[in-house]
């Protein structure tokens, strides 16, 4: 009787007490101070990119030959370049282009790579062999050389550089999601979904893909940092942003001859690249620790 009475009077745990995997991951991420520093750096540059026209103290394209190659001062905090343009304004606007290319190229890589990867992992056989060989061919080339080759064929342009960066990162996401699908598709709930006649499309995109996205989120964060370096390298070689557009790599290319006489023309865009990449790497490491069960004690 007492047992029955206790059973009847017991109440289910409150909804707020039930910890979802994502909520638990967020708690773990918040405890990682270094990851929060990385997220703060990324957030800072995202704000710069979004509100660049409002934040820039000067027009980033307007020359002022009377003030060319002036050092940092109260009027120009980061100094001026060889055309007298305000370097701070150009760094701020460069954040918009660099982050846009980084996020857009990685988004394209995730869409294409994940689509090919889940198809290869789910269907297997000759489909898996064909897609896997395509990935192997792309991975056989050094990534930056392959990007240069693609842009050389398509023509030097920011849009073509974005496409090239997206292409070279497709195999990384494709192979990652393929390996995850190979294990997820053997789970009992996938077998049960097949037994009730669920279509392959629904099975792939409503069950298998959502349960395979954890490593993609982590890899995607780290890939944005890599994409920013790659677009900077392409722009440095003259294959990325073209005038009047500017990104941090193009600023480095335009200022390399003034490294000795006006080092600030290269220091500040270089610092912007370093800090942004550092922020994404720190945040990506924090996400990996929070989302990977093997990293939890």
Predicted local confidence at residue 7, as pLDDT: 45
- Whether 66 is in a domain gets the answer yes
Residue 18 lies in a domain: no
Does residue 11 belong to any structural domain of this protein? Answer: no
Q: What pLDDT, on a 0 to 100 scale, did the predictor assign at position 83?
A: 87
In a domain, 83, yes or no: yes
Tell me the DSSP string of 211-225. GG-HHHHHHHHHHHH
Range of the domain at 62: 31-295
In a domain, 20, yes or no: no
Q: The domain that contains 204 carries what CATH number?
A: 1.10.3720.10
- Rounded-to-integer distance, Cα 251 and Cα 92, Å: 12
d(CA 163, CA 152): 12
The parts of the chain modelled with pLDDT lower than 50 are: 1-10, 14-18, 295-297
pTM here is 0.83
Can you read off the two tokens belonging to residue 275? Answer: 């800090």
With residues binned 3-state (H G I as helix, E B as strand, rest as coil), the percentages for the chain, rounded to 5, are 75, 0, 25
pLDDT at 294: 54
Q: What's the domain count of the chain?
A: 1
- Assigned domain for 138 exists: yes
| Strand (E) or helix (H) holding 183 | helix 158-184
How far is 167 from 174, CA to CA, in rounded Å? 11
- What confidence score (pLDDT) does residue 6 get? 47
Q: Is residue 1, in this structure, part of any structural domain at all?
A: no
Q: What is the pLDDT of residue 20?
A: 66
The pair phi, psi for residue 86, each rounded to 5°, is: -70, 120
Tell me 74's DSSP state.
Answer: S
With beta carbons less than 8 A apart as the criterion, state whether 178 and 117 touch.
yes
Is-contact 287 35, C-beta < 8 A?
Answer: yes
Q: What is the pLDDT of residue 21?
A: 66
What pLDDT is attached to residue 163?
A: 92
Evaluate whether residue 39 is within a structural domain. yes
CA atoms within 13 A on the CB side of 177: 32
Q: In the numeric block, which tokens belong to residue 164?
A: 């090239």
């Amino acid at each position: 009787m007492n047992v029955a009475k206790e059973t009847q009077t017991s109440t289910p745990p409150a909804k707020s007490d039930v910890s979802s995997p994502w909520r638990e991951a967020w708690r773990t991420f918040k405890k990682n101070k270094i990851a929060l520093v990385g997220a703060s750096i990324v957030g800072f540059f995202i704000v710069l990119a979004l509100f660049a026209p409002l934040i820039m103290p000067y027009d980033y394209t307007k020359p002022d030959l009377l003030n060319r190659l002036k050092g940092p001062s109260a009027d120009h905090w980061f100094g001026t370049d060889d055309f007298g343009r305000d370097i701070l304004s150009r760094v701020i606007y460069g954040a918009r282009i660099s982050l846009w290319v980084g996020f857009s190229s990685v988004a394209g890589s995730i869409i294409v790579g994940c689509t090919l990867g889940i198809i290869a992992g789910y269907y297997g056989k000759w489909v898996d062999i064909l897609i896997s060989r395509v990935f192997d061919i792309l991975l056989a080339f050094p990534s930056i050389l392959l990007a240069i080759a693609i842009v050389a064929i398509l023509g030097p342009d920011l849009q073509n550089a974005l496409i090239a960066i997206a292409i070279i990162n497709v195999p990384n996401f494709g192979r990652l999601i393929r390996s995850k699908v190979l294990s997820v598709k053997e789970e009992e709930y996938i077998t049960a979904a097949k037994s009730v006649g669920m279509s392959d499309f629904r099975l792939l995109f409503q069950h298998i893909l959502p349960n395979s996205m954890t490593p993609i989120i982590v890899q995607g964060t780290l890939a944005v940092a890599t994409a920013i370096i790659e677009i900077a390298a392409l722009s440095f070689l003259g294959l990325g942003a073209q005038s009047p557009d500017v990104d941090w790599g193009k600023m480095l290319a335009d200022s390399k001859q003034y490294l000795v006489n006006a080092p600030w023309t290269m220091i500040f865009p270089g610092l912007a690249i370093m800090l942004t990449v550092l922020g994404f790497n720190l945040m990506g490491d924090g996400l990996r620790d929070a989302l990977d069960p093997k990293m939890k004690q």
